[in-house]
Structure 1
Amino acid sequence: MLLETSIGAVIRYKSPVSSKEPEFLILKNRRGSWGFPQGHKEHGESELETLKREVREETGIQFLEIMSFIGTIRYSYMKLNGIRSHKEVKFYFATTPIRDIVISYEHASYRWVSFLSGLNFLAHRQLKSILIKGHRTGLY
């Protein structure tokens, strides 16, 4: 059994117009699923270092204000080599004034979406639960 640890971010666009409805960044991977920026923690990195690096690599966002921890999801999947892997992803809430994204080769596209649209785009139940948890706790 393999245990993988990743760090992810629910990123809200910090609009100069504060009355605007909050928008969240979602990325579409090459398999067609929408999700949040996330990636593996490298040896010696803190969670926040991983978060900043992964967001920069996947979106080009250089400025990210990390606000709060949201929660953790866990799931299992079968790797291409046939080994079952267990994955844990810790999600943080962050804001950015950057709206123009430069996606990495890992992704096909991106969108800034409202809370309700985000729930419609996110296919995985646990990703929806992370978005809902941040909303219920008053983070956004």
Structure 2
Amino acid sequence: MGKNVWAKVVQRGILLRDGDEQTEALVLKNPDGTWELPGGKIEYGETARESLDREIREETGLAVTAAEPVETTVRKLKKNKKRGKFAVVYRCAFEGDAVELSDEHVGFAWRGAQAIAETNLKQVDEYRSLRRALAETNHEPRWERSGVHVSGLDGDTETLTNGTGTAGEETER
């Protein structure tokens, strides 16, 4: 049996929209030049969903209307092998059409599959999740295909495709 590792819990959201030629995902640029999905850590007293909603709203100004977990990973931190990070990546439906960056990030971009492959994403699990989400050829969320009912989403895929910006274009502060 392996050793127990204390882990910080973080969440990230995949926000997709229809671009001019392909489906695009929102990525945020860090001051160090790396990119990441919007999200962050769960604060004491929050539920997982409350945390996801808060982090995405704070970082992008967009409101999550539904979320489905698509990837979970646990990894040890490089600096402290006794501590780790438990990450959950969600595919999110959202409302809003203008990204409003927080001070945490210096830019954002809506990128398709090819551009994502060339993006310096901070975490590999985010890349795997994004690649799978972008590979889906239609916007029908898995919760609808699987027969799971999510209130407010039946027949409404518009919330999965909102957003602004040009395909692959980076926007900086």
TM-score range, shorter chain: 0.7 to 0.9
Instruction: Give the structure 1 partner of residue 158 of structure 2.
Output: none
Tell me which of the two structures has the higher relative contact order, counting C-alpha pairs closer than 8 angstroms and 6 or more residues apart. Answer: 1
Going by fraction, where is strand more abundant, 1 or 2?
Answer: 1
| 2:106 match: secondary structure | strand
1:8-41 deviation line (CA, Å, top 9, x unaligned):
101113x5x9x85211100011221111012111
| 1:64 match: secondary structure | strand
- Greater shift, 19-28 or 46-55, is seen at 19-28
| 1:106 match: secondary structure | coil
Whichever of the two has the greater Rg, that structure is 2
TM-score, normalisation: structure 2 = 0.66
Q: Please list every run of 5 or more consecutive structure 2 residues that lacks an aligned counterpart in the other structure.
A: 140-173
Q: Give me the CA root mean square deviation.
A: 2.6
Whole-angstrom CA distance in 2 between matches of 1:73 and 1:119: 20
1:67-126 deviation line (CA, Å, top 9, x unaligned):
4211112222245xx675310110110133433211111111000111221222143432
Give 1:42's aligned amino acid: E
Instruction: Give the structure 2 partner of residue 126 of structure 1.
Output: 125
Whole-angstrom CA distance in 2 between matches of 1:139 and 1:47: 27
Give the C-alpha shift of residue 138 in structure 1.
6.9
Give the C-alpha shift of residue 139 in structure 1.
7.5
Kept in 2, the 8 Å contact 1:78–1:84? The answer is no
TM-score, normalisation: structure 1 = 0.79
Whole-angstrom CA distance in 2 between matches of 1:85 and 1:105: 27
Question: What is the number of residues matched between the two proteins?
Answer: 134
Q: Please list every run of 5 or more consecutive structure 1 residues that lacks an aligned counterpart in the other structure.
A: none
Instruction: Give the structure 2 partner of residue 6 of structure 1.
Output: 10
Kept in 2, the 8 Å contact 1:122–1:128? The answer is no
In 2 relative to 1, CA 21–95 (structure 1 residues): closer, same or farther, beyond 3 Å? farther
Instruction: Give the structure 1 partner of residue 111 of structure 2.
Output: 113
Instruction: Give the structure 2 partner of residue 70 of structure 1.
Output: 70
